[in-house]
Amino acid sequence: MRLRVFVPWIIALFIVPAIGLAPAALLAEDPPEAEETATAAAPPEPVTTEHEITLDDRSLAYRARVEVLELTDGSGTPRGHLFTVAYMADEEQGEAEDRPVTFFMNGGPGAASAYLHVGGLGPKTLRTDGMGQPVDGGTLEENLDTWLAFTDMVFLDPIGTGFSRPVEAGDDRYYGHGADLDSLSQAIELWLDGQDRRASPVYLAGESYGGYRAAALPKRMMHDRGVQLAGTVLISPVIDFSSIRHSPERPLSWALLLPSYAAAAAGHGKAESAEPEALSEFALTDYIAALIHPERMEALFPELAAMTGLDASFLRERRGRVGPNEFRRRLLADEGKVVSAYDGLLTVPDPTPSRAHVRVDQILDGMTPAYVTGFLDHLRRNLEWREGRDYTLLSRSVNRAWSYGLNGRQGYLSAMEDLQEVMALAPEFRVLTVHGESDLVTPWLASHWLLAQVNDALGGVEDRLAFARYSGGHMFYMRPDASTALARDAAAFYGAAVHERE
């Protein structure tokens, strides 16, 4: 899909308070991980290697630097070791301070950055089929869509993920939204100072909860570190948690899911394909009005059934409200299959049909071996990093321990005010938000609606808010077609040009 400047709808809706994490429900039932028992040793020395990649008609030479950054508390005492992998184009490509540098983060909380790193954006990525499923195990290949074509790249693993660990075993100080943001802002400043890149255009990019980080961090970087960011890229983000928490008293969240259900149903031949704009218009007018005024819902059941592929009788039983877990199991119940929460186009046989909650996910569970195998092989073989054991792709214990920092107050974690404040104070700061159409965890309409509120609050900043949708789900960048389109759109956002390929 071609990148376009965000244009808000003119609609009369309201904001409701929120808290929580969409993926947490998928993580909560897993067995606890073994406790760490040792104190971390001093960080090893960084390792730098030289590489080259051919991007269409040009050769790009670059350096890879694997490094562990030492995080300290206010007294200067080491408290955490944060693992990073950076890719930097050679100076022959231009002056280093003129070239953008982007810091990448995944979410969870508890996820390492290998998802973005070898999933779709780094110079080497997993070989996948047309649906974004890894093939040949964890085999990596040259990535012609790498963002290294237009920005240097630094992948950050928050404490408790990847090879990043607290100095003292059992220290959970970093497992909360405030301390997490502080640690990442410290790591970014350490890296910029270490590489003499404070004067470079600095960007963030985050996926899922990493999208919350990428929306909330610019304010902290500005106020606490004196680092003015040029922009941020929100990939399948959760910007405000109220938008993804579903209950009868919050009608907006149900409406924001509807286009994603429709995309999944159409992909399985259970519904006719419809334009996303038409689906969102229906969701935010007729459907949300019926959620607020239940007496209007009866007339919508035939249309809702045609959109979602669900029986009108089932929709009537649920009063027009179907949660993601029910939708995943109900859509293909006649085939004994469940769809992925992270991409409603992907399925697996339901191994526990008698359980109330679906216990497996093709993406969250099925792709782990390929990610870990591919990333570690790349790290050892290509980047010559021999340190570290027990690479943690996704930590359930970190996810369970996470504090959202609301101290018993009502409400939901949100980066909306942080984002608006930065955009108000920094007129050059820009945002690119990208989503997959069949993502049931962080539906695209939620971000689109929230950005409309940002635009309204600031009196019209459409030229600084870009938005794009792609085929696929939460990790749409693993699909070759979406990866190419995303690279083109991201390059335009950075003000770069990329070669158009067939």
Residue 285 buriedness (CB in 10 A; 0-12 / 13-18 / 19+) = middle
Tokens coding 413: 């974690």
- Residue 129 resides in a domain: yes
- Alpha carbon distance 126, 377 (integer Å): 11
- Alpha carbon distance 234, 113 (integer Å): 14
- Residue 13 resides in a domain: no
| pLDDT given for residue 27 in this prediction | 46
| pLDDT given for residue 28 in this prediction | 39
Whether residue 394 is predicted with pLDDT greater than 70 in this model: the reply is yes
- Do 133 and 174 fall into the same domain? yes
For 80-91, the pLDDT digits (tens) are 999 999 999 996
Between 38 and 137, the more confident residue is: 137
Half-sphere exposure of 54 (CA within 13 A, CB side): 2
| pLDDT given for residue 400 in this prediction | 93
Handedness of CA 6, 147, 113, 202 (dihedral sign): negative
Cβ neighbours of residue 428 under 8 Å, at least 6 residues apart? Answer: 230
Of 349, 379, 412, the residue that ends a domain is 349
- Residue 28 resides in a domain: no
Q: What proportions of the chain, in percent to the nearest 5, are helix, strand and coil?
A: 40, 20, 45
**pLDDT band of 410, cuts 50, 70, 90:** low
Q: Phi, psi at residue 35, to the nearest 5°?
A: -75, 140
**pLDDT band of 39, cuts 50, 70, 90:** low
- Alpha carbon distance 228, 221 (integer Å): 7
Whether residue 9 is predicted with pLDDT greater than 60 in this model: the reply is no
- Alpha carbon distance 39, 125 (integer Å): 33
**What mean pLDDT comes out for the span 483-487?**
97
CB atoms within 10 A of CB 56: 10
Low-confidence winner among 28-32, 127-131, 172-176, 264-268 (lowest mean pLDDT): 28-32
Of 289, 319, 349, the residue that ends a domain is 349
Low-confidence winner among 168-172, 205-209, 261-265 (lowest mean pLDDT): 168-172
Cβ neighbours of residue 157 under 8 Å, at least 6 residues apart? Answer: 82, 83, 84, 112, 113, 163, 164
Packing angle, helices 209-225 and 177-194, rounded to 10: 60
- Residue 17 resides in a domain: no
Residue 354 buriedness (CB in 10 A; 0-12 / 13-18 / 19+) = exposed
Range of the domain at 324: 246-349
| pLDDT given for residue 40 in this prediction | 62
Average confidence score pLDDT of the chain: 89
For 337-392, the pLDDT digits (tens) are 999 999 999 999 988 888 888 888 888 888 999 999 999 999 999 999 999 878 99
Of 321, 349, 377, the residue that ends a domain is 349
| pLDDT given for residue 229 in this prediction | 96
**What mean pLDDT comes out for the span 161-184?**
94
**pLDDT band of 248, cuts 50, 70, 90:** confident
- Residue 21 resides in a domain: no
From residue 50, alpha-carbon distances to 62, 111, 217, 269, 476 in Å are 6, 28, 31, 48, 30
For 102-124, the pLDDT digits (tens) are 999 999 999 999 999 999 999 99
- Do 67 and 139 fall into the same domain? yes
**What mean pLDDT comes out for the span 419-445?**
97
Tell me the H-state helices in 149-176.
none
Low-confidence winner among 55-59, 315-319, 380-384 (lowest mean pLDDT): 55-59
The one-character DSSP state at 394 is B
- Do 231 and 316 fall into the same domain? no
| pLDDT given for residue 365 in this prediction | 85
Task: Give percent of the chain above pLDDT 90.
Answer: 78
Domain count, the chain: 2
| pLDDT given for residue 5 in this prediction | 41
| pLDDT given for residue 357 in this prediction | 85
- Residue 176 resides in a domain: yes
CB atoms within 10 A of CB 380: 12
Whether residue 270 is predicted with pLDDT greater than 80 in this model: the reply is yes
| pLDDT given for residue 366 in this prediction | 87
Residue 317 buriedness (CB in 10 A; 0-12 / 13-18 / 19+) = exposed
Whether residue 12 is predicted with pLDDT greater than 70 in this model: the reply is no
- Do 165 and 51 fall into the same domain? yes
| pLDDT given for residue 34 in this prediction | 46
**pLDDT band of 235, cuts 50, 70, 90:** very high
The one-character DSSP state at 45 is P
- Alpha carbon distance 296, 291 (integer Å): 8
- Do 226 and 272 fall into the same domain? no
- Residue 341 resides in a domain: yes
For 437-471, the pLDDT digits (tens) are 999 999 999 999 999 999 999 999 999 999 999 99
Beta bridge pairs of residue 465: 431
- Do 186 and 224 fall into the same domain? yes
Handedness of CA 379, 381, 383, 384 (dihedral sign): positive
Going by C-alpha positions, the residue among 401, 403, 405 that lies closest to residue 33 is 401
- Residue 36 resides in a domain: no
Low-confidence winner among 91-95, 170-174, 202-206, 488-492 (lowest mean pLDDT): 91-95
Going by C-alpha positions, the residue among 457, 449, 431 that lies closest to residue 203 is 431
- Do 265 and 406 fall into the same domain? no
- Do 332 and 222 fall into the same domain? no
Dihedral class, residue 384 (left if φ above 0, else alpha if ψ from -120 to 50, else beta): left
Going by C-alpha positions, the residue among 272, 252, 201, 168 that lies closest to residue 453 is 252
The number of residues making up the chain comes to: 502
**What mean pLDDT comes out for the span 153-164?**
97
**What mean pLDDT comes out for the span 233-252?**
93
- Do 236 and 295 fall into the same domain? no
- Do 107 and 171 fall into the same domain? yes
User: Which CATH number belongs to the domain containing residue 49 in this structure?
Assistant: 3.40.50.1820
Q: Do 436 and 474 touch, CB atoms closer than 8 A?
A: yes
- Do 253 and 236 fall into the same domain? no
- Do 303 and 400 fall into the same domain? no
| pLDDT given for residue 390 in this prediction | 87
pTM of the model: 0.90
Between 253 and 16, the more confident residue is: 253
